């Protein structure tokens, strides 16, 4: 077995004033998990963008009719991912390397990255495929409020099948998130920006959202990854299908 490379420790104070602070237990766990995922899982990233113009108009109308619910873009993205997980079940799976089996999950729990006082956590919206958009938005808000207040229970961040991480509010045109193993996929959402495009000879300003799908290449081939991302984009581009009541 190849030993991990040893990082040389310097006396940093030789170069100027320094301050040391404890590396919290949560950050240690995050570091171990992300390092293991990056070292063991062959990551592939696919990039695309989605025309959000129609969805933003729909979101505005729905938010006006539901003032008690904070209806964010994340709720629509989560519903689009839930739909894609149904069509592409290998994304809703985990690889059991001991048994050489792919564990296909019959449930659909989707996590979203949330900043908390103790570090980055991923609370889980359970049965995302069985919730409508407003129910999804309400579940996200409850979990986000708990995360911000530092009140997430361990059970709130367990059992995810897939993760969404949204840095759009912070800026940036794109990024490549690390898979939250044993999940096999994660979707990164960037900052939407307007762009003038030619629509049948007429110039129009449309809003485009950059998306990055990262997946475990041991489980997912490139063609399947491309189809998964295309499905998500179709759902967001023409969002009427996301409003259908789930079974």
What are the helix (H) ranges across 109-216? 133-148
Average pLDDT score over residue span 44-71: 94
Average pLDDT score over residue span 147-161: 94
- Percent over 70 (pLDDT), the chain: 96
As annotated, the active-site residues are 217
Which helix (DSSP H) or strand (DSSP E) does residue 208 occupy?
Answer: strand 202-216
Cβ(166)–Cβ(77) below 8 Å: yes
3-class secondary structure, 47: strand
Distance CA 116, CA 31 (A): 16
* Residue 105 Cα to chain centre, angstroms: 18
69-127 per-position pLDDT tens digit: 999 999 999 999 999 999 999 999 999 999 999 999 999 999 999 988 888 899 999 99
Q: Which two tokens stand for residue 239?
A: 């969002």
Domains (range + CATH), the chain: 12-243 (3.30.559.10)
Q: Note the pLDDT of residue 1.
A: 43
């Amino acid at each position: 077995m190849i030993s991990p490379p040893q990082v040389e420790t310097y006396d940093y104070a030789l170069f100027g004033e320094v301050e040391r602070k404890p590396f919290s237990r949560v950050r240690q766990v995050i570091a171990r998990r992300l390092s293991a995922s990056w070292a063991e899982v062959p990551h592939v990233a696919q990039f695309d963008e989605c025309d959000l113009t129609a969805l933003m108009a729909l979101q505005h109308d729905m938010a006006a009719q539901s003032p008690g619910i904070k209806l964010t873009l994340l709720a629509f993205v989560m519903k689009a991912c839930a739909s894609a997980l149904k069509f592409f079940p290998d994304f809703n799976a985990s690889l059991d390397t001991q048994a050489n089996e792919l564990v296909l999950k019959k449930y659909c729990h989707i996590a979203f990255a949330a900043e908390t006082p103790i570090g980055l956590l991923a609370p889980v919206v359970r049965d995302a495929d069985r919730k409508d958009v407003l129910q999804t938005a309400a579940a996200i808000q409850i979990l986000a409020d708990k995360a911000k207040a530092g009140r997430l229970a361990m059970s709130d961040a367990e059992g995810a099948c897939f993760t969404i991480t949204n840095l759009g509010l912070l800026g940036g045109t794109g990024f490549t998130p690390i898979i939250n193993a044993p999940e096999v996929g994660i979707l990164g959402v960037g900052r939407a920006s307007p762009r003038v495009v030619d629509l049948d000879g007429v110039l129009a300003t449309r809003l485009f959202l950059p998306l990055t799908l990262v997946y475990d290449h041991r489980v997912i081939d490139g063609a399947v990854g491309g189809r998964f991302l295309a499905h998500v984009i179709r759902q967001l581009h023409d969002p009427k299908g996301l409003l259908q009541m789930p079974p």
